[in-house]
């Protein structure tokens, strides 16, 4: 592979450019008019402006990206995460235009994007799936009948959804008709598909996901799991690997199940299988993500594997004989997402100019960021400005190192989530690893924060 176009922006565009440089591959950045001064635009060997700031007119506009690949003679296109990363049509157009899509096949993106189909495939492969409807739920009458069988509470989810959008928890029969109607309407409005499926609702699960890489020739390797339960409104804020809830025996069962599932669909590239993990150690397939994820660095730190490099090698037709199939975790890594959001004002986005910026460093610290002093955070895109990752021999060391790194991190000019992370790092339950997906609903951010925590 000689030249890759990166169809993305921000920290992930830089992340991909870094690996390309290490592999001796030339890079093409695409950028919107709002991103002229972005580092991905500067660090790539070539850069092509693809339109106005609005994502729909630039980073989501397929013809412009394909044209940029054509005029620069790129060989492949890496979509990063978000934007077009899980757009099967984009993957298809890349390939039919003569560019390798760095990711799974368009067909795989389409199949795993149908959450009902994905669950059925996994069930057939022998992976435990969340109990619920076998397929779509046709109407409120069928919903009521099914819910009675499954037992309340149940959850209605959009077949074309994912990541928490278009869901409704239903606690009793009298709510089911209204829940069905609104969820279905939301699914139609949000995804252009009103189809819903139903599951038993688990009250206080953990969200644990297994990192996979497949060569598309039947070989799939798991790189352990990530604990992703610390989220707010379906936005993850802190991720770690290993999960404090997963011991070696459970890891073996989870990764084996995930590998079995991914092998059964002959998965290619990096992917993730999301599990719900309940309090008694039972886990259930929820959905599969067919992209490199924001939180991939915690896995890289613990397993010593460059996941973007693996994606590129696999896209070039290589296999991964260099990774031991029974690879073991080394130590513990945790990631804090530093967003331009004000945690004291309901995490309201805070675009604007960063007046001063100092990143932490030292032993076991990694910072993936596109920000710099003087950078103006545009209001058009997501608010992630840096990922701070700390690695240690064990969880306590990783958490102390994270706290130390948060103390060193200086961002002035815009409020960020740094003070929030500092408070979580000192939380008792968080330190004990005793939490689930509801952690942030109960977490009280202290307002009387002295200068240090602001």
Q: Is 325 in the site for ligand MV4 (CB under 6 A)?
A: no
Give Cβ neighbours of residue 267 (< 8 Å, ≥ 6 apart). Answer: 104, 108, 212, 214, 216, 220
Beta strands in 151-234 (DSSP E): 154-162, 165-170, 196-200, 206-215, 220-232
Helix, strand or coil for residue 388?
strand
What token pair was written down for 143? 């919903």
Residue in 9, 226, 251, 291 annotated catalytic: 291
Query: Rule CB under 6 A: is residue 291 a binding residue for ligand MV4?
Result: no
Which one of the spans 49-57, 202-210, 340-348, 413-421 is the region binding ligand MV4 (CB under 6 A)?
202-210
Least separation, in Å, of the C-beta of 169 and ligand MV4?
Answer: 7
- What's the min distance (Å) between Cβ of 129 and ligand MV4? 10
| Binding piece for ligand MV4, criterion CB under 6 A, among 67-75, 81-89, 197-205, 408-416 | 197-205
Q: Which of residues 9, 61, 100, 207 is near ligand MV4 by CB under 6 A?
A: 207
- Quote the CA–CA distance of 316 and 310 in Å, as a whole number: 10
Count of beta carbons in the 10 Å neighbourhood of residue 84: 25
Position 199 contacts ligand MV4 (CB under 6 A): yes
Cβ closest to ligand MV4, residue 14 vs residue 230: 230
Among 202, 409, 420, 439, binds ligand MV4 (CB under 6 A): 202
166 binds ligand MV4 (CB under 6 A): no
Residue 251 bears catalytic tag: no
Residue 327 dihedral angles phi and psi, to the nearest 5° = -50, 135
Nearest approach in angstroms of CB 119 to ligand MV4 is 11
Measured from the CB of residue 116, what is the shortest distance to ligand MV4 in angstroms? 14
User: What percent of the chain is helix, strand and coil (3-state, nearest 5)?
Assistant: 35, 30, 35
Is residue 293 reached through a cis peptide bond, with omega within 30 degrees of 0 on the bond before it? no
The whole-angstrom separation of Cα 106 and Cα 100 is: 11
Tell me phi and psi for residue 165, to 5 degrees. Answer: -85, 145
Among 98, 145, 151, 164, binds ligand MV4 (CB under 6 A): 164
Cis omega (within 30 of 0) for bond into 242: yes
Shortest gap between Cβ of 54 and ligand MV4 (angstroms)? 27
Q: How far is the CB of 162 from ligand MV4 (least distance, A)?
A: 6
SS (H, E, C) 271-334: EEEEEEECCCCCEEEEEEECCCCCCHHHHHHHHCCCHHHHHHHHHCCCCCCCCCCCCCCCCEEE
Nearer to ligand MV4, 58 or 289 (CB): 289
Using CB under 6 A as the binding rule, whether residue 350 contacts ligand MV4 is answered as no
- ω before 151 within 30° of 0 (cis)? no
Window of 1-9, 50-58, 104-112, 198-206 that interacts with ligand MV4 by CB under 6 A: 198-206
Of 405 and 440, which CB lies nearer to ligand MV4 in the complex structure?
A: 440
Nearer to ligand MV4, 441 or 448 (CB): 441
Q: Which is nearer to ligand MV4, 42 or 234 (CB)?
A: 234
Alpha carbon distance 19, 11 (integer Å): 13
Nearer to ligand MV4 by Cβ, of 19 and 272: the residue is 272
Which helix (H) or strand (E) element contains residue 410?
strand 410-412
Cα–chain center distance at 276: 16
What element of type H or E holds 32?
strand 26-32
Q: Does 283 help bind ligand MV4 (rule: CB under 6 A)?
A: no
Instruction: Please list every residue from 125 through 154 that binds ligand MV4, using CB under 6 A.
Output: 130
Which three-class secondary structure state does DSSP give residue 187? helix
**Total binding residues toward ligand MV4, as defined by CB under 6 A:** 17
Rule CB under 6 A: say whether 163 interacts with ligand MV4. yes
Q: Is residue 112 within the footprint of ligand MV4 (CB under 6 A)?
A: no
| Cα(350)–Cα(376) distance, integer angstroms | 11
Nearer to ligand MV4 (CB atom), residue 199 or residue 215: 199
CB of 390 to ligand MV4, least distance (A): 24
In terms of CB distance, is 234 or 348 closer to ligand MV4?
A: 234
Question: Smallest distance from the beta carbon of 207 to ligand MV4, in angstroms?
Answer: 5
Buried b (16+ CB within 10 A) or exposed e, 396-415: eebbebbebbbeebebebbb
Which residue in 90, 201, 357, 375 binds ligand MV4 (CB under 6 A)? 201
Confirm or reject binding of residue 437 to ligand MV4 (CB under 6 A).
Answer: yes
Q: Is there a contact between 40 and 13 (Cβ–Cβ < 8 Å)? A: yes
* Catalytic annotation, residues: 291
Residues at the contact surface with ligand MV4, assessed by CB under 6 A: 130, 155, 163-164, 199-202, 205, 207, 231, 234, 274, 276, 286-287, 437
């Amino acid at each position: 592979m000689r030249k890759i176009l990166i169809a993305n922006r921000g920290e992930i565009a830089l992340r991909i450019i870094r690996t390309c440089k290490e592999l001796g591959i030339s890079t093409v950045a695409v950028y919107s008019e709002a991103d002229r001064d972005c580092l991905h635009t500067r660090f790539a060997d070539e850069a092509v402006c693809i339109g106005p700031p609005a994502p729909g007119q630039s980073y989501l506009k397929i013809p412009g990206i394909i044209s940029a690949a054509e005029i620069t003679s790129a060989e492949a296109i890496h979509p990063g995460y978000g934007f077009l990363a899980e757009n099967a049509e984009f993957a298809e157009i890349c390939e039919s235009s003569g560019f390798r899509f760095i990711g799974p096949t368009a067909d795989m993106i389409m199949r795993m994007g149908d959450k009902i189909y994905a669950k059925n495939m996994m069930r057939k492969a022998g992976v435990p799936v969340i109990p619920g409807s076998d397929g779509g739920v046709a109407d409120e009458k069928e919903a009521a009948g099914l819910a009675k069988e499954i037992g309340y509470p149940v959850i209605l989810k959009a077949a074309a959804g994912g990541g928490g959008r278009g869901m409704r928890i239903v606690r009793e029969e009298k709510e089911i008709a209204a829940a069905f109607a609104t969820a279905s309407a939301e699914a139609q409005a949000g995804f252009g598909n009103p189809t819903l499926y139903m599951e038993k609702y688990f009250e206080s699960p953990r969200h644990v996901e297994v990192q996979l890489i497949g060569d598309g020739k039947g070989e799939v390797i798991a790189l352990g799991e990530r604990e992703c339960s610390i989220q707010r409104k379906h936005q993850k804020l802190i991720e770690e690997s290993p999960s404090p809830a997963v011991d070696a025996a459970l890891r073996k069962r989870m990764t084996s199940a995930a590998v079995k599932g991914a092998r059964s669909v002959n998965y290619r590239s990096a992917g993730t299988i999301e599990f719900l993990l309940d309090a008694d150690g039972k886990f259930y397939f929820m959905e599969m993500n067919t992209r490199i994820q924001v939180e991939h660095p915690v896995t890289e730190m613990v397993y010593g594997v460059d996941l973007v490099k693996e994606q590129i090698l696999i896209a070039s037709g290589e296999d991964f004989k260099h990774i031991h199939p029974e690879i073991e975790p080394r130590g513990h890594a945790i990631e804090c997402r530093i967003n331009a959001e004000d945690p004291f004002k309901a995490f309201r986005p805070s675009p604007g100019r960063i007046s001063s910026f100092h990143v932490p460093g030292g032993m076991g610290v990694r910072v993936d960021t596109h920000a710099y002093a003087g950078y103006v955070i545009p209001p058009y895109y997501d608010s992630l400005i840096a990922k701070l990752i700390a690695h240690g021999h064990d969880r306590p060391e990783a958490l102390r190192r994270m706290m130390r790194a948060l103390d060193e991190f200086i961002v002035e000019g815009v409020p960020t989530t740094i003070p929030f992370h500092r408070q979580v790092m000192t939380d008792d339950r968080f330190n004990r690893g005793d939490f689930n997906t509801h952690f942030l609903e109960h977490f009280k951010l202290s307002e009387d924060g002295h200068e240090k925590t602001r």
